[in-house]
Structure 1
Amino acid sequence: MSTVTATALQSENPPIIPLPFNANQPQTIKLYPLSNYTFGVKETQPEEDPSVIARLKRLEEHYNAHGMRRTCEGILVCHEHNHPHILMLQIANAFFKLPGDYLRPEDDEVDGFKARLDERLAPVGRIGEGEEAGDWHVGDCLAQWWRPNFETFMYPFIPAHVTRPKECKKLYFIELPKSKVLSVPKNMKLLAVPLFELYDNTARYGPQLSAIPHLLSKYNFEFVNENDEVVAATPGVGPDGYVPKTKVLAGGSGGDEDMNDAKEEENGTA
């Protein structure tokens, strides 16, 4: 490249570099591309309750026998075009939820959570070579949502008048490895939803899922390509013209998905 060309490519007004701004910053997280992961389907997992009323009735029975129900769900993050995407389930083409479920009364929190993740996403017969049961890296607890009563509403705090909440749901950051095999039940879809789509979108995803971009804003990300090379890092942008879209990974026809009519169950509270 000639000196004239090189000079022409340089800005006449170079950026002003501020002092370091990383005090008390959590570790930078590596995000691997969606193409690194293999997706499949497995046998149907029918819903335990035929209705919301039945679900709340079962919650009441659980509370009377075992006390507050403990629920754990995972925020699994990868990237597409250097934009973070969240892996989540869509059930009956109607509502969204994160992988995970309530713990059994006798379960240890983390081990029980890993078992519920296996039920939802682990391949049958351990298709992924070298994978073992509970092979999940459970990271930070990013949020706690509380159910004060036997109702659908949950809050990110315990209301002042409530002394015995009926359920606590924890959202954990799950660090995905470089590659992994994931399988979704036939009656569900596994989606990759961009943060852009979730942000400030309570009408479609409810308060819990639409808050995920806020929860992840504490981290800086490095975006790794298929050759294990860091190609971008926050702050940064994807390729020109790319508009993040939800992608169906398994359990559907595949490709980009229009989610305008789908909503998270009970507006993100159940």
Structure 2
Amino acid sequence: MTTISKDAQQSSYPPIAPPDFNAHQPKTVRLYPLSNYTFGTKETQPEEDPSVLARLKRLEEHYDAYGMRRTCEGILVCHDHNHPHVLMLQIANAFFKLPGDYLPHDADEIEGFKIRLNERLAPSGNQFSNDGNEGEWEIGETLAQWWRPNFETFMYPFIPPHVSRPKECKKLYFIQLPNSKVLSVPKNMKLLAVPLFELYDNAQRYGPQLSAIPHLLSRYNFEFVDENGKVSAVTPGGNPNEGSVPRTKVLAGGDEPNGAQQDSKME
């Protein structure tokens, strides 16, 4: 196996600039440092279902009454040491999930999603409305749709050919975080910042939906803003701070210190 030396990867010589390679590229996304955000905890939010079986039973009842269930989750991205990190929840040290949840059957998609995000991440005691205050969320593009063809745990990024009535559709949206924000997580959950390289090709730990996020974000170029508000690196070419290695961080909730988490996956 050929090994690329550190000197070859981080040469002191300037790179050779290729011709422009940005045709049909989405707009560049600006990411702010993890240190810009404030994290806290709020009252416990017990899970609605004591088991996976109970959750699927409730899904079946929803389908019988209202048809396909709509679920919305957000991909919230910031950076640490010039590497993108995704904010996600770990519930009861059992599984990982993105902020969001299923919508009430009669809710507007985007407004209902914002309410779900506030339930999970808004500081307690604050009243949020959609009038531009700090409770507002900038809901971006739909990055993926996952379909549940039956009352089972399996979901697919397509509708199988033999399925005409899927039981649930889960949409993942890109959410542009502002340069600062206060986020609070229920005490029975943990809020994590997980680097993209930890998610990539790691379905064994995170499940197929979360491990696909690096693929979904690969369409964007990033600008990494430092704590002084200046762009410190761009994609490609920015180097992490010397001697630092990005890793998963527990931002709020739970009792374990920052570091390794228990193996688990999202269903």
Q: Distance in 2 between matches of 1:10 and 1:196?
A: 25
Q: Please name the residue that 2:136 is paired with.
A: 135
Q: 1:105 to 1:39 in 2, by over 3 A?
A: same
Amino acid at match of 2:155: M
- Structure 2, unaligned runs of 5 or more: 1-10
**Cα shift at 1:216:** 0.2
Matched, 1:238 2:236: no
Q: Distance in 2 between matches of 1:202 and 1:178?
A: 31
**Cα shift at 1:116:** 0.2
Q: Distance in 2 between matches of 1:256 and 1:156?
A: 32
Q: Please name the residue that 1:68 is paired with.
A: 68
| TM-score, with structure 1 as normaliser | 0.90
**Cα shift at 1:15:** 3.6
Q: Please name the residue that 1:197 is paired with.
A: 198
Q: 1:90 to 1:17 in 2, by over 3 A?
A: same
SS in 2 for 1:256: coil
Does structure 1 retain, via aligned residues, the 8 Å contact 2:188–2:254?
no
Amino acid at match of 1:148: P
Q: Note the alpha carbon deviations across 1:64-118, whole angstroms, 9 max, x for none.
A: 0000000000000000000000000001112100000000011000000000000
Question: Superposition pairs for residues 5-20 of structure 1, below 5 Å?
Answer: 11=13, 15-20=15-20
Does structure 2 retain, via aligned residues, the 8 Å contact 1:115–1:133?
no
Q: Please name the residue that 1:176 is paired with.
A: 177
Q: Distance in 1 between matches of 2:257 and 2:134?
A: 30
Q: Distance in 2 between matches of 1:71 and 1:171?
A: 9
Q: 1:15 to 1:232 in 2, by over 3 A?
A: closer
**Cα shift at 1:27:** 0.5
Does structure 2 retain, via aligned residues, the 8 Å contact 1:249–1:255?
no
Q: What is the Cα-based RMSD across aligned positions, in Å?
A: 1.9
Q: Please name the residue that 2:229 is paired with.
A: 228
SS in 1 for 2:61: helix
SS in 2 for 1:241: coil
Question: Superposition pairs for residues 1-270 of structure 1, below 5 Å?
Answer: 11=13, 15-126=15-126, 132=133, 134-235=135-236, 236-253=238-255, 256-259=258-261, 261-264=262-265, 268-269=266-267
Q: Which has the larger radius of gyration?
A: 1
Q: Distance in 1 between matches of 2:82 and 2:136?
A: 26
Amino acid at match of 1:154: M
Amino acid at match of 1:53: L
- Structure 1, unaligned runs of 5 or more: 1-8
State how many pairs are aligned: 254
Q: Distance in 2 between matches of 1:132 and 1:42?
A: 20
**Cα shift at 1:257:** 1.9
Q: Tell me whether 58-67 or 233-242 shows the greater mean CA deviation.
A: 233-242
**Cα shift at 1:127:** 9.2
**Cα shift at 1:251:** 0.4
SS in 1 for 2:70: strand
Q: 1:127 to 1:231 in 2, by over 3 A?
A: farther
Does structure 1 retain, via aligned residues, the 8 Å contact 2:134–2:181?
no
Q: Please name the residue that 1:3 is paired with.
A: none
Q: Tell me whether 26-35 or 248-257 shows the greater mean CA deviation.
A: 248-257
Q: 1:160 to 1:216 in 2, by over 3 A?
A: same
Q: Tell me whether 79-88 or 249-258 shows the greater mean CA deviation.
A: 249-258
Amino acid at match of 2:241: P
Q: Note the alpha carbon deviations across 1:201-247, whole angstroms, 9 max, x for none.
A: 00000000000000000000000011110000111331233222100
Q: Give the fraction of aligned pairs with identical amino acids, expressed as a percent.
A: 73
SS in 2 for 1:71: strand
